Structure 1
Amino acid sequence: MKFITCASYYGTGSSAVTDYVSEFNTVFSFTDEEFRFIQDPDGISDLEFNLVECFNRHNSGHALKRYKRLVDLYCGNFLVPRYRRFFGDGWKNYSYQYINDLTDFTYHGWWHYDLFDRGTWFWLRKRLVNKILHKTIWRNNPDRSINTMTDEITYCSHPTEEKFLRCTREYIYKLFESVKPQNIDTIMVDQLVPPMNLPRYLRYFDDNIKVVVVDRDPRDVFFLDKYVWKDGIIPNDVETFCKWFHYTRDHRKYESMNTDYIKFIQFEDLVYHYDQTGVELREWLGLDEKNHLYKRKYFDPAVSIHNTQVWKKFPDYDREREFIEKALPEYLYDF
């Protein structure tokens, strides 16, 4: 099984690549959902850091608990099914098996982060009993403590890098193999990895992944978010926005964005130079033109062109456009 995925910085139009690749009948497009369990906080990358690179008798076991909590969060519930909607029971089953495979042994025990993770009131309630006892009948025995977490399980795990990567690759492969049609070997999954620090994340796929990093003219990113989407996810003050834009793209100064496994494209190139960029992308991904059976069905540059040069629709805010042009000249697209 081969993976194709997009990596973006927010609002950069990476769905255009997802839509383009989905037009090939040899690709299984696994919905437009973002599957971020590898890169998100408490995800697989954090697991590797805590279990392999920075092992600690408390942190490592706690990292497995936090990954289990992330699995439960992404599983969803009857109101918001989340990943269960796509994997069914497989999401939890394969994820819990992955946790078991990485666990050396467990025992009944706890530490203070097991209290903190349940919230301030839980922590206060559990510790209040000991405080009262130390002030009364145990005031002459300050070291005594009552165990209020008798059912808590502590995980112990310290795998080698080789074992961690083997378990992770098997986990990811089994998870997506369970939903992929048997007659298709290539699967398109959105946002499996971030655009930065990619050499770290590529190790989880054993050379069977292609990552397309997509960026967009900063003027469009700013004006779309502030005046059209109004999500509030990124800064809407233009000076802070420019700092944020630099901050999120700075890695490209020292990380290669064009390798056998990574390809950088501008959203605008796919729109304004559809044929040329499409050929480059298709050949790099190893897709055959004869299998492009649904051309322009999901990605139509004639439609997407209306989502470019958006700042022209807001002439009253030229000051913001000019500020971006002066602060971020190297990121502007030459229309």
Structure 2
Amino acid sequence: MRTIITCTGYGTTGSSAATNIIEEFKDIKSLGSEFECSFLHETDGLKDLENALREGHRLKTDLAIKRFLRLAAIQNKQRAVQKYFNGNFVRHAEDFIASISTANWNGNWHRGADTIKYSKDELLYYNLAKQVFLQEYSYACYSLFEPDTWHPTYHKRNRSYYAYFDSSFYEKAQKYVNKLLSEISAHINAKKILIDQFFPAYDISSYLHYAPETRIIIVDRDPRDMYVLNKSSWGESYIPSNDIDTFINWYRGIRFSQPHELQNSNVLFFHFEDFIFNYEESLLRLKTFLNFTDEEHIKKYEYFNPEKSIKNTYKFKNYPQWKNDIKKIESTLSEFCYNFPSDINTSLCIARTEPIEEYIKSADIIQFSKFLPLKYKKKIPIFLFGMTKFGSAIESLSHRNNLKTTVKGLIKCGIFLFTFLIEYIYAGLIYLKYKEIK
């Protein structure tokens, strides 16, 4: 029987540590932590489709199905999706929709084309078709009494759907998911498959309806470290670390269902810090949960080494400028704060570099004011260069840490070089057109 294992969290909480440890075991085939296979819980994914079908609204179901199919088409453009699903990702989505649809036809409603971009040819022939309809039908033929002067007209047709949730939905959803997993199995031929972010950390019991045998590892991180790391180094805009009260409300809010999720027998919970300060105990819990043996752990410390990753913990002590914020976190989020060992090295290593949030503030001012300060005017040629794909590829070379990724970067540079001049001129023209906007 095929076993699906997934590691998940709340964004930058360290689930990749669990992924790395599991990858050290024999006979585990991983899709890699760089590929987040999230089609179940992505916006417009399978769960959102189920929610719309449960309501059964005649128009909402049509749009939900179209959004589901559009998401499949968007995700299918990813190289990893093409690779692991053998180019059949969209086909399986279309087959699933066909299996659950009560009816489909060429129809129209006021938002029925939200997911469709018509070409100029299509718009031309629609307008011609509308004129044919008006000429053939003629307003005079409409003899019913309508007090608001309504009369028939011709609208752009597109594929329309109706479906509703019934007792067969989960069975069909499982067949759909199993077909996709079979594509992966055919590609990597394994009984134990590790898929990063396959499930979210929320409402797990609902997602188990789609893949009942999935084993889920949730990893969370100390809010103090998460706060200072985002302000100092990560700069992730989905983490509201520019205001301490907002951060606290957000951090607690997105964990609203955590106590409930941890009651699920398919779920195992870890603190990221436990992988470092209680490594052997955490490893034993992981092996027991996944039915792994010591003999199968053939690459121990190769992908995750607690002695190296310890550098990523206890970071809030390095930033005394935020000590008041840290105290506030400790008083309001105490149940989430990790109990670090008493013998940990608490000597301060004050960070001297400028926090990333300061650079973000400078960029935000330009984005929202739509005005470039005078001190940057001389750097316009450099900025325009960076706005091109070639410039972006050149910049990325400094962040590529091994031979494989460096070679990929150089190949990109070579490809984008051919369009560089056109992109550079275009960026310059756009800047000249809008530079006076304030």
Q: When the two structures are superposed, what TM-score results if normalisation uses the length of structure 2?
A: 0.67
Q: Determine if contact 2:56/2:165 at 8 Å carries over to the other structure.
A: no
Letter in 1 for 2:102: D
Query: Of 160, 176, 180, which residue of structure 2 is paired with 1:171?
Result: 176
* 2:327 counterpart of 1:322: yes
CA spacing shift, 1:30–1:116, aligned 2, 3 Å:
closer
CA deviation map 1:47-72 (0-9, x unaligned): 11222x21122112221111001101
Which secondary structure state, in structure 1, belongs to the residue aligned with residue 161 of structure 2? strand
Alignment of 1:99-178 (within 5 A): 99-117=97-115, 142-150=149-157, 152-161=158-167, 163-178=168-183
Aligned to 1:23: 24
Give the structure with the higher percent strand. Answer: 1
Q: Please state how far the C-alpha of 1:183 moved relative to its aligned partner.
A: 5.1
Find the aligned partners of 1:285 and 1:272 in 2 and give their Cα distance.
21
In the TM superposition, what is the alpha-carbon distance from 1:138 to its structure 2 partner? Answer: 7.0
The residue type paired with residue 149 of structure 1 is K
**Could you tell me which amino acid in structure 1 is paired with residue 246 of structure 2?**
T
Instruction: Give the conservation status (yes or no) of the 8 Å contact 1:68–1:96.
Output: yes
Deviation sequence 1:142-189 (CA, Å, 0-9, x none):
312432313x1111222523x211111111112122122675211111
**CA-atom RMSD, angstroms?**
2.6
In the alignment, structure 1 residue 63 sits paired with structure 2 residue 69: no
For the Cα contact (< 8 Å) 1:226–1:232, is it kept in 2? no
Describe the shift of the 1:182–1:298 C-alpha distance in structure 2 as closer, same or farther (beyond 3 A): closer
Say which of 243, 247, 250 aligns to 1:244: 250
> Counterpart amino acid of 1:171?
Y
Q: Distance in 1 between matches of 2:154 and 2:114?
A: 16
Aligned residue type for 1:314: Y
Are 1:44 and 2:49 matched, yes or no? no
Amino acid at match of 2:170: L
Tell me how far apart the structure 2 counterparts of residues 182 and 189 of structure 1 sit (CA, whole Å): 12
Cα distance in 2 for partners of 1:182, 1:331 equals 38
Work out the CA distance in 1 between the residues paired with 2:214 and 2:171. Answer: 16
Q: CA deviation at 1:308?
A: 0.5
Q: How far has the Cα of 1:305 moved from its partner?
A: 0.8
Quick one: structure 1 residues 219 and 45, their matched pair in 2 at CA, closer, same or farther if it must change by over 3 Å?
A: same
Match of 2:267? Answer: 262
Once residues 247 and 75 of structure 1 are traced to their aligned partners in structure 2, the CA distance between those partners, rounded to angstroms, is: 32
Q: Which amino acid aligns with 1:312?
A: K
Code of the aligned partner of 2:313: T
**Identical-residue share of aligned pairs (%):** 27
Answer with 270-279 or 109-118: which moved more: 109-118
CA distance, structure 2, for counterparts of residue 90 and residue 117 of structure 1: 21
SS in 2 for 1:233: coil
Contact 1:217 1:332 (8 Å CA) reproduced: yes
Deviation (angstroms), 1:222? 1.0
Q: What one-letter code is carried by the residue in structure 1 that aligns with 2:258?
A: R
5+ unaligned residues in a row in structure 1: which ranges? Answer: none
Equivalent residues, number: 317
Task: Kindly indicate whether residue 73 of structure 2 is the aligned counterpart of residue 72 of structure 1.
Answer: yes
Q: Name the aligned partner's letter for residue 48 of structure 2.
A: D
Distance across 2 between alignment mates of 1:272 and 1:318: 24
Shift of 1:118: 5.1
**Equivalent pair of 1:28/1:186 in contact (CA under 8 Å):** yes
Letter in 2 for 1:107: W
Partner residue, 2:5: 4
Change (3 A) 1:331 1:113: same
Residue 200 (str. 1) matches residue 198 (str. 2): no
Give the Å deviation of 1:73. 1.2
- CA distance in structure 2 between the aligned counterparts of 1:92 and 1:101, rounded to whole angstroms: 14
The reply on whether 1:279 has 2:284 as its aligned counterpart is yes
Deviates more, 1:260-269 or 1:313-322: 313-322
Per-residue CA deviations over 1:217-266 (Å, capped at 9, x if unaligned) read 0011111112111121110111100000110112234x140432011111
- Aligned partners of 2:287 and 2:42: how far apart in 1? 29
Contact kept in structure 1, 2:61 and 2:164, CA below 8 Å: yes
Aligned twin of 1:187: 193
- Aligned counterparts of 1:108 and 1:101: Cα–Cα separation in 2: 18
Confirm or deny: 8 A CA contact 1:8 1:195 kept in the other structure: yes
SS of the counterpart of 2:208?
A: helix
Paired with 1:49 and 1:14, the residues of 2 have a C-alpha distance of: 27
The unaligned stretches of length 5 or more in structure 2 are: 141-145, 341-438
1:315 deviation in Å? 2.1
Structure 1 stretch displaced more, 214-223 or 54-63: 54-63
Which structure: larger Rg? 2
CA distance in 1, matches of 2:153, 2:284: 68
Shift of 1:98: 1.5
**2: CA distance between counterparts of 1:15 and 1:271?**
13
Tell me which of 33, 36, 44 is aligned to 1:34: 36
In structure 2, what residue type is equivalent to 1:113? R
